[in-house]
């Protein structure tokens, strides 16, 4: 059974979607730790309500960035984490974490990367930019994390059509529905060892049930 660390800064709706799949037995994993830079976010409240350990990493608690990196790494190693899931985490992961957990860190982005990704493209800013661009489709992307924002090998994407009367808010709701479906499916595949690498690109093996 895999052990997943969740990193979140906000409400953590994707964290909750993954947690619910774990509780119902769909994903063979457990969540030993939730990490955030925001002690008052919904993800931390949800973790505490469900008896999940939490760690707050920010400048007010750990002014020295090197200390932050060391404590973060020690916490993840102590929890024997196999997978890190970013669920609306608003900070760049330290290089030591990215290096030590190569191909073990997933992120969900509310657009079809590489479009509308990178530094500054987060939350409603993504959807506002998409609506302004007049493109016909949007969607969500799950990818492995490297040392650049919204970069790294893409594992899965799903599209959604943009209607003429869509706003940034209505598009955000459509995409969030997709996120809550696609992210747990990729996490499930990882935990079942069904993500394979072909020519340095991750592919999900599909299980055909008789």
Specify if 99 maps to a domain: yes
Residue by residue, pLDDT tens for the chain (210 residues) are 999 999 999 999 999 999 999 999 999 999 999 999 999 999 999 999 999 999 999 988 888 888 899 999 999 999 999 999 999 999 899 999 999 999 999 999 999 999 999 988 988 999 999 999 999 999 999 999 999 989 999 999 999 999 999 999 999 999 999 999 999 999 999 999 999 999 999 999 987 665
Helix axes 124-133 and 168-191, enclosed angle (nearest 10): 120
| pLDDT reported for residue 207 | 72
Specify if 49 maps to a domain: yes
CA dihedral of residues 148, 191, 12, 144 (deg, nearest 10):
10
Number of compact structural domains in the chain: 1
- Domain membership of residue 140 as a residue range: 2-204
Note the pTM of the prediction, 2 decimals. 0.94
CATH number reported for the structural domain that contains residue 143 in this entry: 3.40.50.170
Specify if 118 maps to a domain: yes
Specify if 22 maps to a domain: yes
* Residue in 103, 127, 105, 106 with CA at minimum distance from that of residue 117: 127
CA dihedral of residues 101, 103, 108, 114 (deg, nearest 10):
130
Distance, CA of 185 to CA of 191 (rounded, Å): 10
Specify if 65 maps to a domain: yes
Active site residue 109: yes
Specify if 196 maps to a domain: yes
| pLDDT reported for residue 122 | 87
Specify if 83 maps to a domain: yes
Please pick, among 109, 127, 143, 180, the residue that the annotation labels catalytic.
109
Specify if 209 maps to a domain: no
């Amino acid at each position: 059974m895999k052990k997943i660390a969740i990193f979140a800064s906000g409400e953590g709706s994707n964290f909750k979607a993954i947690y619910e799949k774990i509780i119902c037995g769909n994903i063979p994993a457990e969540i030993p730790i939730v990490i955030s830079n925001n002690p008052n976010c919904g993800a931390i409240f949800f973790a505490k309500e469900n008896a999940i350990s939490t760690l707050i990493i920010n400048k007010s608690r750990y002014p020295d960035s090197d200390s932050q990196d060391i404590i973060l790494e020690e916490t993840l190693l102590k929890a024997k984490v196999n997978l890190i899931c970013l669920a609306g985490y608003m900070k760049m992961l330290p290089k030591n974490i990215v290096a030590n957990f190569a191909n073990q860190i997933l992120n969900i982005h509310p657009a079809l990367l590489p479009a509308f990704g990178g530094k500054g493209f987060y939350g409603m800013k993504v959807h506002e930019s998409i609506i302004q661009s007049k493109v016909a489709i949007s969607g969500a992307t799950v990818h492995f994390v490297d040392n650049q924002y919204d970069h790294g090998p893409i594992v899965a994407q799903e599209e959604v059509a943009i209607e003429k009367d869509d706003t940034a808010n209505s598009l955000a709701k459509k995409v969030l529905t997709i996120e809550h479906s696609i992210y747990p499916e990729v996490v499930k595949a990882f935990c079942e060892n069904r993500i394979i690498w072909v020519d340095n690109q991750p592919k999900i093996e599909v299980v055909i049930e008789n």
